[in-house]
Structure 1
Amino acid sequence: MTETHDFSAREDRTLPAVVYALYIVGLTHGLTIIIGLIMAYACRNTAGPIMYSHYTFQIRTFWLSIGLFLVGAAIAFWGGIFSLILVGLPFLWLGLTICGLTWAWFLVRSILGVIALAREEPYPRPYAWMF
């Protein structure tokens, strides 16, 4: 008689949950986001398919937010410089708005990831830009 095991029934959700928590807490200061990114990279290759999708989603969320934030910061920087002659004020506000929306986008993506993790589901579209 052969014995079969269902190894894919449940995957450990602890570390992806820790990464999501580090991401959300890091929105106040940034340091724990870096720690969460390192953890996601370290754990992704040994994870099962469900948790792999979460780690991929977390890594992409970080890099996409960095890109968006840098665009907003650059626009705000140059807008700040040119605001001395009042031409740059709209660009300053645009850059700050982009940075604020990036912060909110990062938060929403992290919360949606937590919801999918709590349901023990893979993240549906880990490579998508939006949600």
Structure 2
Amino acid sequence: MTDVSTPGLPPTVRAEEDKVLPAVVYGLYLLGFASCAATTIVGLIVAYANRSTAGPINESHYTFAIRTFWMTIGWFLIGAMMTLFGGVLSIILIGIPVLLAGIFILGTVGVWFAVRCGVGIYYLARGEAYPRPRTWLI
């Protein structure tokens, strides 16, 4: 496949990479919502196993997926601990704000995870590398 980027210059050859395995990783991540995160761990293993042998486009998607997993785990643990301690302390009414903050963090992390997977799928479907795979946001 050739891609003519600028008129008057010779066409550049664009290498096509297989999109199946990064798509499988994103699919397993999203399926983790229904399977209590069991498939998410399988997706993480697939991403780690294929990142070193992948081309530049797929490597950016694997890096993005791996960072998404670990950041989600970190924020999930923070939200879960806040919810747990806030729930215990809400017996004496002092923990209600902590409980609500923990629940908010858990909900936000779930939406953030789904949006990051969706954006990754978008770039993958276009055949592009993820532009900022090491970012915290999207």
TM-score band by shorter chain is over 0.9
Q: Cα offset for 1:49?
A: 0.3
Distance 1:69 1:18 in 2: 23
Q: 1:104 pairs with 98, 105, 111, which one?
A: 111
Paired-residue identity, %: 53
| Amino acid paired to 1:34 | I
Q: 1:115 pairs with 119, 122, 129, which one?
A: 122
> Given the alignment of the two structures, is residue 53 of structure 1 paired with residue 53 of structure 2, yes or no?
no
Q: Cα offset for 1:7?
A: 8.3
Q: Match for residue 92 of structure 1?
A: 99
> Given the alignment of the two structures, is residue 24 of structure 1 paired with residue 33 of structure 2, yes or no?
no
> Given the alignment of the two structures, is residue 64 of structure 1 paired with residue 58 of structure 2, yes or no?
no
- Structure 1 residues 57-115: Cα deviation after superposition (integer angstroms, max 9, x where no partner): 00000000001111111111110110111111111111011011001000000000000
> Given the alignment of the two structures, is residue 42 of structure 1 paired with residue 53 of structure 2, yes or no?
no
Distance 2:64 2:107 in 1: 21
Distance 1:112 1:15 in 2: 16
Distance 1:12 1:51 in 2: 8
| Amino acid paired to 1:14 | V
Q: Extract unaligned runs of 5+ from structure 2.
A: 1-11
> Given the alignment of the two structures, is residue 13 of structure 1 paired with residue 39 of structure 2, yes or no?
no
Higher helix share: 1
Q: 1:33 pairs with 37, 40, 49, which one?
A: 40
TM-score (norm 1): 0.93
Please give the secondary structure, in 2, of the residue aligned with 1:82.
Answer: helix
TM-score (norm 2): 0.88
Change in Cα spacing, 1:64 to 1:125, as seen in structure 2 (3 Å) is same
Q: Match for residue 84 of structure 2?
A: 77
State the structure with bigger RCO (CA 8 A, min sep 6), 1 or 2. 1
